[in-house]
Amino acid sequence: MNPVYAAMATTIFEEMSGLARETGAINLGQGFPDSIGPEELLRAAADAVLAGPNQYPPSAGMPVLRAAVADYYRRFQSLDIAAGDVLVTSGATEAIAASLLAVISPGDEVILIEPMYDAYRPLVERAGGVARAVTLRPPEWRLPIDGLAAAIGPRTRAIVLNNPNNPTGRVFAHDELAALAALCVAHDLVVISDEVWEAVVFDHAAHVPMIALPGMADRAVKIGSAGKIFGLTGWKVGFVVAGPRLLQPISRAHQFLTFTTPPNLQIAVAHGLGLDDAFFSDSRAALERSRDHLATRLAAAGFTVLPSQGTYFLTVDLAASGVSGDDTTLARRMPHEAGVASIPLSSFYMNPAPAGLIRLCFAKPDEMLDEAAARLGKWLSDQRPGD
């Protein structure tokens, strides 16, 4: 058996969703909206199934979607890209896998910035690479430029960046990213920039694409996700944007992974990317309101909630809220004791994690968030009987 996978446990996301189903708990663990999705895209996908085509589309993606992705990034991020700079993948995780397989050779070192999406490390190792972790620190979660510089060695080939960051909700500032870009240029490194949450930013924060920074046009891989832009996580439509030097080998890796993506979903996503500005601003405003709704209720119940500038997630500091214990143990207890499923942040680390942090998804209806906050508040009182 392949050693990367043979001893690997089930992902924490699957475990916590399983516990939610088993106990009837409210699932604020796995990150997906509790809705069917935007009607405009659903109708476009259904019409495309009936009208066709329903055979293999081009491996690089249907021309209509590649052009729509380029137009979308020109419109919202002022990127000067063409349809030929875009590759369509079956979800962003496949895009990350194809990028790592294309960039890494056996023995190359890859710097991962933790807390991080749990797929990064096994994908690096499956490609023959060696993962090196550099850690963000709460509550600011700023990029540790000195730590990144110290981690770069003669075998370092790439850095994986997630911005906005899951699970912390941090949107990295221009000065942090510019300092990272300068490191990459100085050491001839590639950045695989997982930007799937780029459309889910709040409080007037600005998403800065890594590929737009000085020196990065030919050394950054930008990864996006229609699932995150439109709240259609099950569609698994992702995209890669890169210069020819990087996009060509990534495309070759992609053709031997999923090869292509359902044509009706590509057509529907292309339609969605062309919707007017109000669609995107309204979607973002609705999520920001849900974030504030849950944060307010959790704070009123006595929890310490860390800031979130983007994504679907809030981080709750259980230790600062008066609950001691290992975050994974607490998260496994909570579906049974509180009736709410969460994700422990230690699942996003290679190194020891800060104590007592859990992640909650707020992309849910108000009534679900209200009930979850009420259950968690009662649970918190039970953990602090002296209050």
Confidence class of residue 387 from pLDDT cuts 50, 70 and 90?
A: low
pLDDT in tens, 146-175: 999 999 999 999 999 999 999 999 999 999
Q: 37-92: per-residue pLDDT in tens?
A: 999 999 999 999 999 999 999 999 999 999 999 999 999 999 999 999 999 999 99
Instruction: Give me the amino acid identity at 37.
Output: G
Ramachandran area for residue 344 (φ above 0: left; ψ -120 to 50: alpha; else beta): beta
Compute the average pLDDT of residues 322-327: 94
Query: Residue 101: which H helix or E strand, with range?
Result: helix 92-103
In the chain, the amino acid numbered 336 is H
Q: In what order do the strands lie in the sheet with 313-317?
A: 304-305, 313-317, 357-361, 343-344
CA 272 to chain centre: 20
Q: How far is CA 59 from CA 10, 208, 255, in A?
A: 31, 29, 6
**Among the residues of 104-173, which ranges form H helices?**
120-126, 145-151
pLDDT tier, 357 (very low <50, low <70, confident <90, very high otherwise): very high
Of 10-14, 228-232, 276-280, minimum mean pLDDT range: 10-14
Distance, CA of 107 to CA of 337 (rounded, Å): 45
What per-residue confidence (pLDDT) applies to 214?
Answer: 97
Averaged pLDDT for residues 338-349: 97
Q: Which secondary-structure segment (H or E) carries 97?
A: helix 92-103
Report pLDDT for 130.
98
User: pLDDT averaged over the chain?
Assistant: 96
What is the structure's pLDDT at 8? 85
Confidence of residue 266 (pLDDT cuts 50, 70, 90): very high
pLDDT at 148: 98
Which residues lie below 8 Å from residue 258, measured CB to CB, with a gap of 6+?
A: 89, 90, 94
Average pLDDT over residues 186-213: 97
Cα separation of 95 and 240, whole Å? 6
What is the CB neighbour count within 10 angstroms for residue 140?
Answer: 10
pLDDT of residue 385: 66
Residue 54's alpha-carbon distances to 167, 254, 278, 324, in angstroms, are 37, 20, 32, 54
pLDDT number for residue 39: 97
pLDDT at 268 over 60: yes
Neighbours of 342 (CB within 10 A): 30
- The pLDDT-based confidence of 324 (bands split at 50, 70, 90) is very high
- CB count within 10 Å of CB 319 equals 16
% of the chain at pLDDT higher than 90: 95
DSSP E strands, 262-307: 304-305
Q: Which residues contact 152 (CB under 8 A, 6 or more apart)?
A: 111, 183, 187, 189
Distances (CA, A) of 226 to 65, 120, 291: 11, 20, 21
- pLDDT for 384 beyond 90: no
Helix (H) or strand (E) holding 73: helix 63-77
State which amino acid sits at residue 309. Answer: Q
* Bond prior to 249 in cis (omega within 30° of 0): no
